[in-house]
Amino acid sequence: MAITKEAVIEKLKTVRGPDLEGDIVGLGMVSDIFIADAKVFFSITVPAARAQELEPLREAAERAVKSMPGVAGAVVALTAEKKGGGMEARVPPRPAAPQPRPAPAQAPAARPAAPQGHGPSGHREGKRGVPGIDAIIAVASGKGGVGKSTTAANLALGLSANGLRVGVLDADIYGPSMPRLLGIRGRPQSVDGKVLKPMENYGLKVMSMGFLVDEETPMIWRGPMVMSALTQMLREVDWGPLDILVVDMPPGTGDAQLTMAQSVPLAGAVIVSTPQDLALIDARKGLNMFRKVDVPLLGIVENMSYFVAPDTGKRYDIFGHGGARNEAERLGVTFLGEVPIEMTIRETSDVGAPVVVSAPDGAMAKVYRDIAGKVWERLQEERGRAVAAPAIVFE
């Protein structure tokens, strides 16, 4: 059964917010709708100040569309209208909460601690490296659903295609994606009863919690258990000689991400975001987290940047366009490139044959190889800046 825009619009007319005087279509909150390969793409415009509060509205719209006959999936994002757009008039702000009473005077604050990652004298404390690994980089995002893991897998393959020895650590304990993305099945074997051999495919060495538990087993571990598992997958694996290890970080900026950034000798971080304003708000959080722990920022990738219809060649900026590039310029961070919404990226990822290896001569593979080349260049620049202090020898 063919899906039409008109049918999707009629379905979305049934979606109303908790305090909205009308449905999201009637209020003009729904962007242009694009349908491809039985998947529906659109965004919902909301005031930036109410983005977190209105996340259930996005979820309700996504559920409504997915329930339609013939729909294989839906990609729905919240986006913020530019200032002066009038969205605040259609979606009113929540009444301001009562201001709390001033707190009683407190005792003088204790002496401030040394900055994160520094010792009492202000010098950066060395983090214990991993034998056999020359450099470790993190691929991170401020929120889930922006294509971080797909980007990490294709980035790793792009680095490998450029002649480097590459490994991938899937640090997303709660939602490991690398086994499926890289088409790897089975369990890792032990070298000596203590150290594990990483799994391998497409020339990459890979370790993931997905190799150690069944795909449908929920991970309900608390923070200390997660960090223990990550430490073991990093330091108790026979990675062998690698030029670079790509770490697919968990989404967000919680305790696991912060501890990982503080304890692992990261040579740099790549931030993945989609173009819309609200995704960039979360991306800034990831950028600031790495800055606080003195991890160099290698750059920003704009994923789902635009869509070109294969039948008409018409371009659709479904989630806006250029937001990540503008943010990179504003923050003085390298813009690594933009990855469009492309059906082959999704299809090849789903079957465990990412586009860089399944269509190495195609346009999408070139996009990821170019990004990989820029990441490697930025890594060399950062290494050039990190000149070690001279040792003082007493004779």
pTM: 0.69
The values of phi and psi at residue 39, to 5°, are -115, 140
- Mean pLDDT, the chain, rounded, equals 79
∠261-226-223 over CA atoms, to 5°? 85
| Strand 34-36 versus strand 39-46 pairing type | antiparallel
- What CA–CA distances, in Å, run from 60 to 6, 34, 77, 167? 18, 18, 12, 39
For 103-147, the pLDDT digits (tens) are 433 433 333 333 333 333 233 345 678 889 999 999 988 767 788
CA atoms of 330 and 280, how far apart (whole Å)? 12
Is the distance from CB of 77 to CB of 319 less than 8 angstroms?
yes
Q: Which of 270 and 174 is assigned the larger pLDDT?
A: 270
What is the spatial distance between Cα 266 and Cα 130, in angstroms, rounded to a whole number?
11
Dihedral sign for Cα atoms in the order 174, 178, 181, 184: negative
How far does the chain reach from its first CA to its final CA, in angstroms?
A: 84
What is the C-alpha to C-alpha distance for residues 144 and 151, in angstroms, rounded to an integer? 13
Give the per-residue pLDDT at 218: 62
- pLDDT category at 376 given cuts 50, 70, 90 is very high
- For 136-384, CATH gives 3.40.50.300
Q: pLDDT of 304-330, one tens digit each?
A: 888 888 778 888 887 777 777 888 888
Taking the domains of the chain in order of start, what are their residue ranges?
A: 5-83, 136-384
Q: What percent of the chain has pLDDT over 70?
A: 77
Joined together, the tokens standing for residue 363 give 């346009």
More confident: 238 or 47 = 238
Per-residue pLDDT reduced to its tens digit, 213-256: 776 666 666 666 677 778 888 888 999 899 999 999 887 766 66
CB neighbours of 345 closer than 8 A, spacing ≥ 6?
Answer: 150, 154, 339, 354, 355, 364
- Residue 64 pLDDT class (50, 70, 90 cuts): very high
Decide if domain 5-83 falls under CATH 3.30.300.130.
Answer: yes
Whether residue 340 is predicted with pLDDT greater than 70 in this model: the reply is yes
